Amino acid sequence: MSKYESKDIVVLEGLEAVRLRPGMYIGTTGIKGLHHILWEIVDNAMDEVANGFGDSIEITLNKDGSVVVEDNGRGIPVDIHPTQKKSGVEVVFTQLHAGGKFNTDTYSYSGGLHGVGASVTNALSRWLKVFVHKNGKKYGIEFSSFEDDKGKMKCGIPSGPLKELGTSTKTGTRVEFLPDDRVFEGLKLEYETISKRLRELAFLNKGVKLKLIDKKTGQEEEFCYEGGIKDFALYLNEGKGKLYHNPVYLTAEDKKIKMELAFQHTDNYTDNIISYVNNIPTTEGGTHEVGFKGGFTKFMNDYARKNNLLKEKEANLIGDDFREGLTAVLSIKMNNIQFEGQTKTKLGNPEAKVVVEKLVIQELTKFFTGTANNKLAEIILNKAKGAAKVREAARKAKEITRVKNSLDNYNLVGKLSNCTGRKPEQSELFIVEGDSAGGSAKQGRDRRFQAILPLKGKPLNAEKKRLDQVLANEEIRTIISSLETNIGADFNIKNLRYHKVIILSDADQDGAHIRAILCTFFFRYMKELITNGNVYIGLPPLYKVYKANKTLYVYSDEELPKAIKEVGRGYQIQRYKGLGEMNPEQLWETTMDPEKRTLVNVTLEDAVEAEKLVVTLMGDDINARKEYINKHANFNRVDEFMKKISK
């Protein structure tokens, strides 16, 4: 055995740990990680303006790939730190776990939790510059990452101490940095991704101006919403039929939590609650959402009783009834945030439930006191009563489904070809378009862990139907029965029979539509499948390029010219119009073999964007759908593709 002694213990100095294991700090060195190092700087600026020390932030994307973030806050401290013996600016950008977020006297509320943000961005940049306007003066400092004479990487090293550069009449901080291409190989910051996040932050911080400039393309946008999250609710409800014109806006705070809430009911059949803590999206909800739901349900039932809108013999309505068609934005600010869940997007603080529930009841009582808003209360209650009737119809439909399932698995006989293994974490369900492809998949699969569920036709578009109508659709019922999780309020992910649910459809318009319909169904009625990362899309090949002794499968138009060149003269091309054109061996080799296949994981990183896309693409507003397609579709793709092939 080799010896293990003290000399074998590696001590990483400064920011070396970040450089050696970037995934520990930013999750990934992919495109999400690249944007993460920008968000760290933006979040610092947002903490300044969110706490009332400024009102504008400007982000500039330069042609060389560098980025500038400038705010008009107080400016990072420039005086000498009492223990570190260097300027506050240098401490913030070179020391992990250093920052003003640990002191509640400095920031009442903060999106930064661990004090690693600015230093991590510095460590993963080729160079970084900071300019601070403070106390009537301008200060500056530069950092860089490089290899020393011995080939050792030095990360975020200052070229010297903070310097005084002259006088200034403004306050704030300007950070310029170039993400290191040695870490983020070939990746560039994306305008659209940044734009979406800035819009969201502008909604959450009423009156704050957020400007985005792209020097490469000339694009420029400014976001500022005087209505704050009230405008956010209206934005989310674009394209939906609204039951009342203006969203209800409530705000209140106690010693621990500040709450903002905006909500508006639509004629849709599912709810959409978007929540945040200190500007951080909580896509998995948490205790603050539980508090909101509890307070909203309790108040509405009490109001209905008090105003004789529910008869004495009628039972109380449940939360799902009051939330049918509801769009709500809940934003709270608090200290000492505790997150739960694998993705750290679920609030766990138990006090949040109690406080938010109390504040919701308190503010709704104020809002609905008197006669001014009685009509609005009646609209909400009538919608809830209608939802209760549908709920009862859905309950009966579920009961029928359960009875059918108990009678020799009525729904699944001749449809689901189950796997022999019984461990959900090792099992996969392929939801396959068409009987022909389903037949090939059944023959080509590994029956030990792969189950096949063919779909005869297109399932129902859940975006346009009530729950009882969704349950009446045979294709949807077979999916529910196969997964064993139930649906809607009764959904229980612990009962999930397969931890990989793989949508497998043709690589054409109809196949894309089926994928969209199934993803919409999961998003509306089994959302936890998506947030838990259980839904995948299988990618079948578009072409087979072959000749006597060589065969290549091609999965995109962009890959085709390269494949043709590799196969060489005398090649032939087969365009797969559908999965059914492949025999079982080909389907296994190209699409189902875990060693060779490509799966796309369906995730919910941006709940706001997901909601907007589902409503736009799957809803009733034809004009909104046309506008989206005209904006985003690449109508020149075919011409470009033909040019590539001819070359």
Residues 6+ apart with CB under 8 A from 416: 451, 452, 453, 478, 481, 482
- DSSP tag of 75: -
- Rounded distance between C-alpha atoms, residue 259 and residue 332, angstroms: 4
Tokens representing residue 345 in the block:
């997007």
For the residues of 97-165, what is the DSSP string, one character each? T-SGGG-TTT-SS-S--SS-HHHHHHHTEEEEEEEEEETTEEEEEEEEEEE-TTS-EEEEEESSS-EEE
- Rounded distance between C-alpha atoms, residue 573 and residue 585, angstroms: 19
- Whether the Cβ atoms of residue 269 and residue 324 lie closer than 8 Å to each other: yes
Contacts by 86-92 with C-beta closer than 8 Å and gap 24+? 86/161, 86/162, 87/139, 87/141, 87/161, 87/162, 89/130, 89/132, 89/139, 89/141, 89/162, 90/141, 90/158, 90/161, 90/162, 92/118, 92/119
Strand partners, 178: 127
- Whether the Cβ atoms of residue 220 and residue 214 lie closer than 8 Å to each other: yes
What separation in angstroms does the CA of 149 have from each of 146, 152, 153, 160? 10, 7, 10, 19
User: In terms of Cα–Cα distance, which of 48, 81, 244, 76 is closest to 175?
Assistant: 76
Residues 6+ apart with CB under 8 A from 13: none
The reply to whether 506 belongs to the active site is yes
- Rounded distance between C-alpha atoms, residue 354 and residue 295, angstroms: 9
Tokens representing residue 585 in the block:
């061996």
- At 27 the three-state DSSP class reads coil
Residues 6+ apart with CB under 8 A from 6: none
- Rounded distance between C-alpha atoms, residue 145 and residue 158, angstroms: 9
- Whether the Cβ atoms of residue 544 and residue 576 lie closer than 8 Å to each other: yes
- Whether the Cβ atoms of residue 474 and residue 404 lie closer than 8 Å to each other: no
The reply to whether 510 belongs to the active site is yes
Query: Which of the residues 510, 566, 593, 640 is marked catalytic?
Result: 510
Tokens 């101490």 — which residue?
A: 161
Strand partners, 328: 263, 273
Q: Which spans in 149-286 are helix H?
A: 191-204, 229-236
The reply to whether 433 belongs to the active site is yes
Q: Per residue in 44-72, is it b (16+ CB within 10 Å) or e — as a string?
A: bbbbbbbbebbebbbbbbeeeebbbbbbb
Single-letter amino acid code for the residue at 208: V
Query: Which of the residues 43, 260, 320, 433 is marked catalytic?
Result: 433
User: In terms of Cα–Cα distance, which of 201, 249, 260 is closest to 225?
Assistant: 201
Q: Please count the residues of the chain.
A: 647
User: Which residues are identified as catalytic?
Assistant: 433, 506, 508, 510
